[in-house]
Amino acid sequence: MMFGRSSLLAKTATRSIFSNVASRRLASTKSLKETLQEVIPAKQEQLKKLKAEHSQAVVGEVKVENILGGMRGLKAMLWEASVLDPNEGIRFHGLTIPDCQKVLPPAPGGKEMTAESMFWLLLTGQVPSPEQSRQLSAELAEKGDLPPFVEKLIDSLPKTLHPMTQLGMGVAALNHDSVFQAAYERGIKKSEYWTYTLEDCLNLTAKLPALAARIYRNVYHPERSLPALDKNLDLVGNYSNMLGFGANEHLTEYLRLYIALHGDHEGGNASAHTAHLVGSTLSDPYISYSAALFALAGPLHGLANQEVLRWQMAMQKEIGDNITHDNIKEYLWKTLKSGQVVPGYGHGVLRNPDPRFIALQEFCKSRPELQSSPIIQLVQQTAEVAPDVLKEHGKTKNPYPNVDATSGCVLHHYGLTEFKYYTVIFGVSRALGALTQLVWARALGLPLERPKSYSMDALEKLIKN
């Protein structure tokens, strides 16, 4: 009964959202900063009202299992860009992934929404016009070149250093040119923090493709020269081109979808939360996001898609061309009985199939070259078999595929085969959400994050009392 009511409310909200899309597009000539200047006062007033009228309202409870279990599920963080519902999945300012695919502008000549249009939505809550999206693309392309000292730094690193370590180092080094840090040191009003933070966030977003592509070139293809930024391309178009895949339109379109879908997934995940936590100290966006990247580099967070690909390829090697549901089921049980998890299945919040996985599968179904790919076929068939096996196994709360179950396999099919690099692409993506919310943290004047910790002895004493 409750689920039906929830679905009805969701449908009503979606209709309301679409009725407002036309009005959201009216100010199609306004810049990103101008749009944000109009949006911020209403949000500031909303926050003020929440504090004044509801600061003592109870929104949940803290159990010992929350404290011992990584704070999972605690309602303890403000994050404006997206909300993750366990059953429905992610919504970006109320829009589902299919909604975003319908209304967010694609790149000229493309079909998939751009990183710029998702950035605009996450930051302003509004759907940009095609003109606004292209204007932002042009601005980012102008800002996209790396300073020579960062190029020199990245070029000096050993090829054997993990690409994510290099990415984090490069982002941290860009703090040399932070406009927020410079403004803070000379003295500015708190009400102005967000404007300098926005400038840093745009500069960093613009430079990530050149930085990430340089790392890829140095580690895997040092014989190649790096093409210059093309001021006529969108952010991902330039990224794909600098990676050496500019002529591969299929991969470029896939990267646009991948980066938009990975841009934000609520604020409680390790990388987003790290950016927010470090940002709450008033560290500039470069330092804050470099910390987030090192969180993303962990095996329990951003490395999952490469683990899926390794596992799927090992399955493919073992069962050969005779792919049947029975063979897949047998391999799944072999994995579980060996004490390993099945990578690409389950999620810390979701309790239904990940809408991002569904979107990537729809992309695969629309591409004949992917439908004929053995590894993609194996992914699809595994998704048909694995949930029942995992339910029978009984040790997972969510037996359904998440976005990692297919994301790396498509990259591999299109020729980007270097597993260790996949998390770097994730790092380019996650900046969309983490950086836009740093702007909002400064605009809303959010405080230093400081939760209370307990020792086990103190916790036992608290329980007894």
Does 347 participate in catalysis according to the annotation?
yes
Q: How far apart are CA 6 and CA 91, in angstroms?
A: 14
Backbone angles phi, psi at 105, to 5 degrees: -65, 140
- Which one of 85, 162, 250, 301 is the catalytic residue? 301
Does 301 participate in catalysis according to the annotation?
yes
- Which one of 347, 354, 412, 413 is the catalytic residue? 347
Backbone angles phi, psi at 348, to 5 degrees: -65, -25
CB 40 within 8 A of CB 131: no
- Which one of 99, 264, 354, 404 is the catalytic residue? 404
3-state secondary structure of 245: coil
CB 349 within 8 A of CB 91: no
Which among 237, 42, 232 is positioned nearest to 126, based on CA atoms?
42
Q: Name the residue type at position 251.
A: L
Does 325 participate in catalysis according to the annotation?
no
CB 360 within 8 A of CB 367: no
User: Residue 345 gets which letter from DSSP?
Assistant: B
Written in H, E and C, the secondary structure of 34-97 is HHHHHHHHHHHHHHHHHHHHHCCCCCCCCCHHHHHCCCCCCCCCCCCCEEEECCCEEEECCECH
Residues with catalytic function: 301, 347, 404
